[in-house]
Amino acid sequence: MTRKTVPAYRLHKPSGQARAIVGGRHVYLGKFNSAESRQKYARLLAERSQPSHPGGTTATPPTATLLLVAEVLVKHLEFAEDYYDADGTPGKEFRAMVDAIAPVNDFYGDSLADEFGPLKLKAVRQHLIDRDLCRTEINKRIGRIKCVFKWAVSEQIVTPTVHEGLRTVTANGGQNGI
């Protein structure tokens, strides 16, 4: 008997939630057939498509904080709005930062910030590649995302291992680091 390589999107009848079975674990995705559950399912498949994904088993260390990625992004934007202020209005770099972190929020806003690691950043990078953005723009956006988490470490709202992990991801997908 061969096993499917792609986890199926299924209904968990008792709870009415969507679920997928990954590595023997039931991953609940939200209300069945909702846009949110479909998005979480797409994110799950994107993560599993990464070549270095450990076969669906995720061993995550215990988290020190319970902030969500979306909360970290909001805190950073509040900081960046003042930092990149151009005569009382948000500057060009602030607007570029908003564009860079939008897919992070879309894909992982509801995830714990301390669990945002290299595979998730690679999934965001792949999303940017799939949108046919040029290499230099992708590199800039990945750099800005890393900058957000570097700032979060400096503010002690995420663990330093998050930024250390993200530093290992090259912006262009090549062998050379940034």
Handedness of CA 65, 50, 106, 83 (dihedral sign): positive
pLDDT band at 52 (very low <50, low <70, confident <90, very high): low
Predicted model pTM: 0.63
Domains and CATH numbers, the chain: 69-167 (1.10.150)
Q: Are 31 and 16 in contact (CB under 8 A)?
A: yes
For residue range 110-152, list pLDDT tens digits in order: 999 999 999 999 999 999 999 999 999 999 999 999 999 999 9
- Rg (C-alpha) for the chain, rounded Å, is 17
CA distances from 164 to 13, 62, 146, 150, 168 (A): 41, 17, 10, 9, 7
Q: Quick one: tokens of 31?
A: 């209300």
